[in-house]
C-alpha cells in the first residue's frame, strides 16, 4: 500500500530568515494524522537566509540527521564539534542524555537548503555523539547509496535504531528496484525532481508511506532528481 503525503499539504513556518516545511507535526504545526511514521518522527525542509540560523538550543533522546541539498550549514555543539555541512554530507547527532548545538548558514550571500530528519532511538539515555561523512555524487548517481544504518555498514553513519537510510541522485529514465522484508515499512521522500512508483507520480517535497510491499520500482521522470529512502522496522 502506498499513501501519499503531498508537498503542498505539509505544515509551514516562515519567520523571514527561515522558511520551513514540516512533513510531520512539529513546533506550532500539529496534525494528529501526521505525527510520524514508524520510528521516523521529523522531516523538515528548511531554507535559511544568508548569515542566519538557529542559536544554541538543546535536544535529548533523538537521532538527528542533517542532509544539505544546496549551500553550506555551520554546526557547533556542546561536545566539542564544529563543522560545515555541504551537499553530499550526512551529519548524524545522537542527542542521548542531552546535547546543545547551533546551526547557521555559513554563507553571507547564498541560501542554504536542507532536510533535517529526526528518528526515535531504540533506547533512551545514551551518551551524546556526533558523526559526519561525505558521499560523492558518483556513489549515489543512478543507485541507492546507504548513508545511515544501525551497524555503520558500507561506511554509513551509525544510528541507534533499526533503520536504514539510502539516498540516490537520478536522471530521467533511471530506474531503481528495492527489495525489503514484507514486515518492514518504507518512507520515500522526494528532495527534488520527480519519480513514478506504481503509476503514481511524486514531485519535489512529496513523501510516500509504503507498507505491505516487499518490492518497489522507482523510476525518475526528470533529470536532477534526488530521493531519500527510509527502510524502517
Domains of the chain: residue spans and CATH: 11-135 (2.60.120.10), 138-232 (2.60.120.10)
How many alpha carbons fall within 13 Å on the CB side of residue 43? 25
- The greatest distance separating any two alpha carbons of the chain, rounded to the nearest whole angstrom, comes to 48
Identify which of 143, 178, 164 has the alpha carbon closest to the alpha carbon of residue 231.
164
Cα-to-chain-centroid distance, residue 15: 22
Which single residue is written with the C-alpha cell 516487499?
A: 214
Which single residue is written with the C-alpha cell 530521493?
A: 227
> What pLDDT sits at residue 164?
98
> What pLDDT sits at residue 170?
98
Name every residue whose Cβ is closer than 8 Å to that of residue 183 and which is 6 or more positions away in sequence.
Answer: none
Q: Which segments of the chain have a pLDDT < 70?
A: none
CA–CA gap between residue 233 and residue 230 (Å, rounded) = 10
> What pLDDT sits at residue 181?
87
Amino acid at each position: 500500500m502506498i499513501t501519499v503525503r503531498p508537498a503542498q499539504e505539509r505544515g509551514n513556518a516562515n519567520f523571514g530568515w527561515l522558511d520551513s516545511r514540516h512533513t510531520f507535526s512539529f513546533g506550532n504545526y500539529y496534525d494528529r494524522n501526521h505525527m510520524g511514521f514508524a520510528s521516523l518522527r521529523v522531516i523538515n525542509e528548511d531554507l535559511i537566509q544568508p548569515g542566519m540560523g538557529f542559536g544554541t538550543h538543546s535536544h535529548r533522546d533523538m537521532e538527528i540527521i542533517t542532509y544539505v541539498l544546496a549551500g553550506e550549514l555551520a554546526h557547533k555543539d556542546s561536545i566539542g564539534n564544529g563543522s560545515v555541512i555541504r551537499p553530499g554530507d550526512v551529519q548524524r547527532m545522537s542527542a542521548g542524555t542531552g546535547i546543545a548545538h547551533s546551526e547557521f548558514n555559513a554563507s553571507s550571500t547564498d541560501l542554504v537548503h536542507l532536510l533535517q530528519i529526526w528518528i526515535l532511538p531504540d533506547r533512551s539515555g545514551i551518551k551524546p555523539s556526533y558523526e559526519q561523512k561525505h558521499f560523492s555524487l558518483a556513489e549515489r548517481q543512478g543507485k541507492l547509496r546507504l548513508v545511515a544504518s544501525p551497524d555503520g555498514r558500507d561506511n554509513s553513519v551509525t544510528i541507534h535504531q533499526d533503520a536504514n537510510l539510502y539516498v540516490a541522485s537520478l536522471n530521467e529514465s533511471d530506474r531503481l528496484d528495492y527489495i525489503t522484508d514484507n514486515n518492514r515499512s518504507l518512507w520515500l521522500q522526494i528532495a527534488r525532481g520527480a519519480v513514478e512508483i506504481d503509476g503514481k507520480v511524486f514531485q519535489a517535497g512529496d513523501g510516500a508511506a509504503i507498507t505491505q510491499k516487499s518490492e518497489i520500482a522507482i523510476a525518475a521522470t526528470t533529470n536532477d532528481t534526488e530521493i531519500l529512502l527510509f527502510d524502517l522496522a
